Every structure is written in C-alpha cells, then in structure tokens.
Structure 1
Amino acid sequence: MVKIDEETIQKFKESMRGELIRPGDAGYDDARKIWNGMIDKHPALIARCTGAVDIINAVNFARSSKLLVAVRGGGHNVAGNAVCDGGLVIDLSRMKSIRIDPASRTARAEPGVTWGELDRETQAFGLALPGGMVSTTGIAGLTLGGGYGWLTRKYGMTIDNLLSADVVTADGQFLVASKTENSDLFWGIRGGGGNFGIVTSFEFRLHPVGPTILGGILLHPLAKAKEVLQFYREYMTTAPVELTVAADLATAPKAPHLPEHIQGTPVLVLAICYVGSIEEGKRIIQPLRTFGSPEVDLVGPVPYTALQKMLDAAYPPGWQYYWKSEYVKDLSDDVIDILVDYAANRPSQRSDILFEYLLGAVNQIGDDETPFSHRNAPFVVALGSMWYDRLEDEENIKWAKDLWNALQPFTTGGVYVNFLMTEGTDRVMAAYGKEKYERLVALKNKYDPTNFFSLNQNIKPRK
C-alpha cells in the first residue's frame, strides 16, 4: 500500500466539498460495501464526491500520490471494480442531480443516479429512457457498457440515446464529449466502459412512455418450460418491437399474490412489457397468455415505474453473486434442454437464468457507430448464480461455469460487457471484436496512456 503523509491527506480533504472517509471512521465499513456480497475490499480512502471539482481534485490527488483508483457509481457493479484494496475509491453515489427538459425531451443526470430515481423524474412528464430492468441499477455503469432494458427493442440501447457527457480524464481535464466535441471520446464511452475517464454528467434523449403501460408476468411450472420456450422462440421472431418479453428460469417467490402451491417451486417466468396502446397490446400478447395455460397471469395495465421495479426483489443487496453470460445464435431445442436441465439442478434456488430476445431498434444502428458490438445477436443469456452463505461459494460458482461451458457450442463468441465478472483480456476483447478493440486501445493510448483507470473491464494501453 502506498504511504501518504498526513499533511497531504489533509490538504486533499480540505479541497473536497464532499466527505473523505478513512479506515476507523464512522461509516467506513458501510461505505466500502457494494451490492455484491462476494466483494470484501478495504480502500485506504473513500472520496464521496459532490460534483465535478471534487472528482478533478480526487483524480489529481490519486495521480500525484500514485494510488490505485476505483470509481463507484450508484448501482450494482457485480464484478467488484467499484472498490479496491489500499487505494482510493472515487465514490459518485451521492451525485444525484436530475434535470428534465420536457420541451426538448432530454434529461441531464449525474452518475450516482439509479434507474428508479431517473424514472421517477422522467415519468412525471410521460417520458422514459431505454435501459435497466431493475430499478436499483445505476445509470452510469449501465450506460457506459451499453444498456439493455424494457424499451430497447423500440427505442434502442441507452448508449443510442446518449447525446453528450461531461468527462474528467486521467490528467484531470474536464471535457465535453458529443458528436461535435471530442467525438472520438464520445464514440469510446458509448460501450467502452470507464476506461477513458469519469463521467460527471450524462445528457440523454427521452421518449414518450406511460405513465401506464401493459406489463406483468406469466408463470409456468418448470415441467412445461421446454414447450413454452419453443413457442416463445417462434412467437418473438414476429412480435412487434413495442413488445419485450424476458424469460427467466427461476423460483417463484413466497408472496401472498401467488397461489400457495406454486410458491417456492421452480418456474419459467415470462416478464412482459408492451409500449403502445394497451388494447392493441392485449391483442398482441393473447397467444402468450393462452399457450400452455399459465399457472399465474399477472399481466395488465400498470405504471411504468412499477414495471421497472417488478424484478427488484429477485436481486437483493448483500448476497453473493457470480455471473456468466453469452449471446446465443438461436434458442434451439438443444439450448432449451441445457437451460431447463441446469435450472432443475441449481444448488441455490435463488439462482436464475435470464434471457431476452433483442432484435429491433438495437440492430438498426450502424455497427461502427459505437464500440458496442453484437447488435445482430438474437438472444442474450445471463446465468445468475446467487446464494447467501460464503461456505457455498464453490458449488454455486461451479454451477454457473459448468452451464456456461455447456452452452459454448451454441454461442456467437461474443459477450455483453456489463455482464462480465473478472474474466481476463480475451473476454473483454470478445465484447468488442478485434477491430473495435484495437480502436479502443488507440483511444486508451490518447486519453489514459498510464492505465490510471484500470479497475474496469480493462482495455490496456499499448506502449
């Protein structure tokens, strides 16, 4: 660990409008914890920033002190890069300013904002931003990696709706990134993650959505999952882009609104969002509601904000999370058999297998427009191993890895960067493809040649 004299630390503390937290301070243990309970790191300093100047001062302090730096937004960060041992955490979670311009249908938001907080503001004007399927997700990390959500098939990914960003680079410069200013940096942050700087403010394009939409869930017992998924596969290829249906092999919660006989049992969940006329939506989803006679049908008119919180309870903070993910070429019978078999043999009943049909507005964007790749992949599959007891780490991690290995013959070879754990350079390259990865390396050489921002899905500069 780097030794820093007390006078230097005090000068840094005095330069901050926000709080500087150190080991032994009240609140240190809470401040170092993140959503994934597997992550247990002890930073030397945590700088809770309140604005761009705090961030600039933190970057300059860390650079001059040769400290390892982690950057924390407002959400999950399953891989654990939001915190570090012995270094400085630049914590943006208190930066929650949101400004909506209903006339221009734009939003300006700071990096500590979560999706639920943004939805609350945008929905007051009947507007929404594509991205996020769990309201506790942070907008910063999701945006920088791409951003799938309920509205993606209709309105594109979050990065496709990013208009500009304010960025603090590794040398402490404050830059505006847009199509007309620092356009190379703007290209890089739309999928390249936190490799090139810290975004202090995002400007987004919004779309008319809600406040009431058609949404909810259908539940089938696991025994019927194969035939329902075969139907789902064919149905989604002709479904309008206004409709998103995420399929989840999970466990039915013990909840009073569910029939007692299905609570706590393995199920297939079809989670539905239709953006458009509710009556038209009811007509379109009728085949889904009738095929296989779902045990539970909780689909109806709901507030869009309620839909965005629908899956929250399935992903509580503090549990152990280990993810693997792939794009699959097709939801073939072989793939379905593998998914259903592994769902039936989960060591933890809290683990799930979530997959989503993606095609629509996503693959209408030119592939070269952003670093984000694999826009033509029809399905993304997220293997979410989740458990509580650390003594059960090995078997739960093994389950996810074994399932991932079983799927390899059916995958595209690509991966969604926001679903990566710490999996090495080859997997980061797989998120972008060789050509785009080399372009990102060139950007890294320009904006962060020393790899100051290394705790991320890292694109290493080339010396």
Structure 2
Amino acid sequence: MVGQSEPDPVVAGDVWRRGDEGYEAARQAAVWHQLKPNRYPDVIVRVKNEQDVVEAVRRARKEGLKVKARGGGHSMTASSVRDGLMIDFSEFCEYTIDPQARTATVTPSVTGDDFGAAVREHGLFFPGGHCPGVGLGGFLLQGGFGWNGQAMGMACSSVRAIDVVTADGELIHCDDTTNADYMWAARGSGSGFFGVVTRFYLDLHPLPASILSSLYAYPMDALDDVLPWFLETGPSLPRSVEPFLMCATPPGLDQRLLLVFAVSFTDTEQQGRDALAPFETCPAIDRALEHRYAKPASFDELYAFMSAAAVPGRYCVDGMWTHESPATLVPKFQELFDSFPNPKCHIGFYPWHDADVPNGAFSLQAPLYISPVAVWDDEKDDAHCIEWATGHMRRLEPYSVGIMLADENLVNRPAPFMAPQNLERLEQLRAKYDPSGLFHSYLLS
C-alpha cells in the first residue's frame, strides 16, 4: 500500500481524499512514467473487489463527482488521472484459467506478460501487449495490438464477455446477446468507455509450436537503404510475422541504430524460417552490425527487446496510421530523424495487416503505423520534447488517416481514432446509458 488512507465503512480497499496523508503518493503511483499530470482527483479509491467498484460509483453519483478508472496505469497521457473520483484497480488483480475450455477471466490490472506466462504453462496463448507491465484493461478496451496480432487480429476479438458497473451503480454481465451495446463499445472505445469494466472473459488459443526471431542492427548511414526497403517489404510479409523497425540508441551504446526485429509464430520451424526469409534481402545487410536470423525465441527475450527502449523518464508518444507509399513517405521522415532531442527518444515503424473486429467499435487502421516516442528527464525540456513527437505528427497529418488509441495523445493533438459512423454510435450509446455524464470520456486539449 502507498501511504495511509482513512478506514472506510463500506469499501474494503483504501480511500484517499485530496489533502489526506498518502493521497499524493497514490496519485503519482497511478502513472507509470515520470511526467505526472497537473490533474487532481477529489477522491482515489483503490478497490479490492467488484463490490468496491459498485460502491465507488454509487458514492460518486451521490457526491456529484465524475468517475474514471485506472487499470494498469500505462496511459501515456495519464487519462485516468482526472477530477472527480478515480477507481484504482492496482490491488484488485485476479485471473482464472480453464485449460479444458480454453477460456479465462482477468481483472483490468492483470498485466499481459504475467497472464501470458500463466496461460503458456497450459500450452495456450493469448495475444497480450508487446511490452511487459501493461494492464489488460486499457489494452483490451482500445482494441489490443498484441503478440501474433498480425495473424490473430485485435485482442479484443478474443473477449467473449465483460462485467461492467454502469452509471446507475449496477454490476451487469455483457456479451454479444445480453447488454450487447456495452460489449460493442468495449471492443475499441478505449478511455471513452461509458462504464467500469471489472472483469474480462477471454477465449484462449493454442500456443504456436515454433516461435523464431530475427534481429538486424544497421548504422544510421544505412537509413536510405533500410527504411524504403522495410516499408516496401512489410505489406508482403505473411501474417505469421510480426515486423518492427526501431530507430533508437540501445542501452549501453552511444550511437543511434536502425533495429529491424521480426518474430514468426508458426507450426514448424521451417515455416518460421521461410516466413522470416525476406529480412535477408535488405540491400544494406552487408553493413549490419548485428545479424541474427530465425533463432528460437522465448517470450522473455521478446519482452526484453521491446522494453529495451522503455527507460525511466518523462514520456510523450504520438503516432499515425497511413496508406501512403514509401516513395511519398520516406522524404517526409528525414526531418524527424534529423531532430532527435536526446538519445532516449526513439521512433517505431509497424507494418500492419487489417484486422476485422466483429461487433466492435474498433474501426481505424492502415497498412503502416509510425510512432515517435519522446523520453527525457528534466522538466525544463517538457515543451521541446512534447513538440518533437506532437509537432512532427501534426506536420505529417496530410499523410495520416488517424491514430491508435494505444498511443493516444489527444490532450496535445486531437486526431481521428475511430470511423465517423462508429464514433457517432458510441456517443449515442453514451447519451443513452450515461445521460448525466458520470464517466469521463476522452481527455482532449
């Protein structure tokens, strides 16, 4: 427990009101990185069970406070830290696994890496997030770009049901036939969901028999060869491959590198080697500082690579989906590459195969996602580093169709994140099920 709260006669968990001893520590602990927002909930309730969530929502209604839930705390803009009442799930962390039925349940603060490790003990798989420590609540609500997602699609498509506390303070069960409007919204509305999910009911999948990875580290002077090749190659890759290109300074080094990382999820090792073979065709491969092709990979190794750039600091992330051709995009990126504020900042490129989400709000995607990640230490650099990520994405908006809610930066740069007809339906459902606006929606500038 962080700090000390006053005993509460109704809620089993801890409750802090602004000004209480321990309140500020609890507020800051709700955000994983060091850029803490200047936003202060009136009340923080660290729930321990479903009934705590029900009581917290009812209390907010009684006191005229708006509500926001915090699952794993990985929102880059700390969208859960708002005025009103924050429901913190950090001490309500439960999951169950039924290996025979290939189903599971999780509460929002369960992390994808912990849950994935437990599921794999049964020879099963769930497409949790690429980075360790990410709570499944926010990950699933925004859609869920997870491991093997190129083949399996969005993780929210593997959510069969949810339990939700409504604006009336009632705990209800929702699936595609019962309370189906809530189920539709839970597959892609992200921080705009008009309720508090207390539990997700998941379908599990067979664990791929072969997982291989390839890694290539290129010097920055190979950019003109590597970037166009990667962008042209990405769309032709089989869905069994997860490809990434990162421009980053690896820990312990003093030079920025182009890191091409690819993972295959297949039935046989030979299928994996064949799927990864296109990465051997890079025109700069003879300049690779590291060259590792189709080696067996553990999830510990996959998470270690993906988290290598997640160094401590203050963060601002932005991004864009685009349909534009490499010939159009590559010249537009040069300014982004030339203006890194410091060695901690990095850029990611993620080719993507469209994924259908039946009965879901998720509705915006394109063949390529680009994401600049600003990381810095000193508060005096806030404006400059935020502008690097946000400003370049604003400059590139003519080539963008929108953003993914996984990296939403709406507080700094509002951008499309859902098809217009889906957003219209979402707001109609919000007006129907939360007419008084009890639940905070998207954090906009």
Return the TM-score normalized by structure 1.
0.87
- Which residue among 25, 35, 48 is the counterpart of 1:30? 25
Which structure 2 residues correspond to residues 349-428 of structure 1 after superposition, within 5 A? Answer: 349-359=343-353, 362=355, 364-365=356-357, 369-375=359-365, 377-412=366-401, 414-423=402-411, 427=415
Match of 1:68 in 2: 66
Match of 1:184 in 2: 181
Match of 1:106 in 2: 103
Deviation of 1:47 after TM superposition, in Å, equals 1.0
Which structure 2 residues correspond to residues 450-461 of structure 1 after superposition, within 5 A? Answer: 450-457=436-443
Report if aligned partners of 2:210, 2:265 keep a CA contact under 8 Å in 1.
no
CA distance in 1, matches of 2:44, 2:186: 24
- Which residue among 342, 350, 362 is the counterpart of 2:336? 342
CA distance in 1, matches of 2:96, 2:225: 46
Deviation of 1:26 after TM superposition, in Å, equals 5.7
Cα 1:216/1:96, change in 2 over 3 Å: farther
Match of 2:50 in 1: 52
- Which residue among 153, 161, 165 is the counterpart of 1:164? 161
Matched, 1:320 2:314: yes
Match of 2:289 in 1: 295
Deviation of 1:216 after TM superposition, in Å, equals 5.0
CA distance in 2, matches of 1:337, 1:54: 53
CA distance in 1, matches of 2:255, 2:194: 45
Secondary structure in structure 2 of the residue aligned to 1:307: helix
CA distance in 1, matches of 2:9, 2:213: 50
Report if aligned partners of 1:115, 1:132 keep a CA contact under 8 Å in 2.
yes
Cα 1:164/1:93, change in 2 over 3 Å: same
Deviation of 1:224 after TM superposition, in Å, equals 0.9
CA distance in 2, matches of 1:384, 1:341: 15
Match of 2:265 in 1: 275
Deviation of 1:401 after TM superposition, in Å, equals 2.6
Deviation of 1:157 after TM superposition, in Å, equals 0.6
Report if aligned partners of 2:264, 2:272 keep a CA contact under 8 Å in 1.
yes
Which structure 2 residues correspond to residues 240-279 of structure 1 after superposition, within 5 A? Answer: 240-254=238-252, 263-276=253-266, 277-279=268-270
Deviation of 1:53 after TM superposition, in Å, equals 0.2
- Which residue among 5, 12, 25 is the counterpart of 1:17? 12
Secondary structure in structure 2 of the residue aligned to 1:393: helix
Cα 1:290/1:379, change in 2 over 3 Å: closer
Matched, 1:442 2:419: no
Cα 1:302/1:26, change in 2 over 3 Å: farther
Worse-superposed segment, 393-402 or 174-183: 393-402
Identity between Structure 1 and Structure 2 (%): 28
Equivalent residue letter for 1:265: Q
CA distance in 1, matches of 2:172, 2:65: 23
Report if aligned partners of 2:311, 2:344 keep a CA contact under 8 Å in 1.
no
CA distance in 2, matches of 1:171, 1:424: 32
Deviation of 1:124 after TM superposition, in Å, equals 0.9
Cα 1:216/1:134, change in 2 over 3 Å: farther
Deviation of 1:426 after TM superposition, in Å, equals 5.7
Report if aligned partners of 2:219, 2:289 keep a CA contact under 8 Å in 1.
yes
Match of 1:239 in 2: 237
CA distance in 2, matches of 1:436, 1:103: 36
Secondary structure in structure 1 of the residue aligned to 2:53: helix
Report if aligned partners of 1:210, 1:303 keep a CA contact under 8 Å in 2.
no
Report if aligned partners of 1:36, 1:80 keep a CA contact under 8 Å in 2.
no
Report if aligned partners of 2:248, 2:344 keep a CA contact under 8 Å in 1.
yes
Name stretches of at least 5 consecutive residues in structure 1 with no aligned partner. 1-8, 255-262, 459-463
Equivalent residue letter for 2:379: R
Secondary structure in structure 1 of the residue aligned to 2:396: helix
The RMSD of aligned alpha carbons is 2.3
Deviation of 1:248 after TM superposition, in Å, equals 1.2
Secondary structure in structure 1 of the residue aligned to 2:236: coil
Match of 2:137 in 1: 140
CA distance in 1, matches of 2:254, 2:214: 19
Please give the per-residue CA displacement for 1:298-333, whole angstroms capped at 9, x wherever unaligned: 45212124313422232245x211122111113513
Report if aligned partners of 1:249, 1:267 keep a CA contact under 8 Å in 2.
yes
Please give the per-residue CA displacement for 1:63-98, whole angstroms capped at 9, x wherever unaligned: 11112333111141111122235x322101122111
CA distance in 2, matches of 1:310, 1:75: 21
Deviation of 1:183 after TM superposition, in Å, equals 0.9
Name stretches of at least 5 consecutive residues in structure 2 with no aligned partner. none
CA distance in 1, matches of 2:108, 2:156: 14
- Number of aligned positions between the proteins: 431
Report if aligned partners of 1:131, 1:158 keep a CA contact under 8 Å in 2.
yes
Match of 1:230 in 2: 228
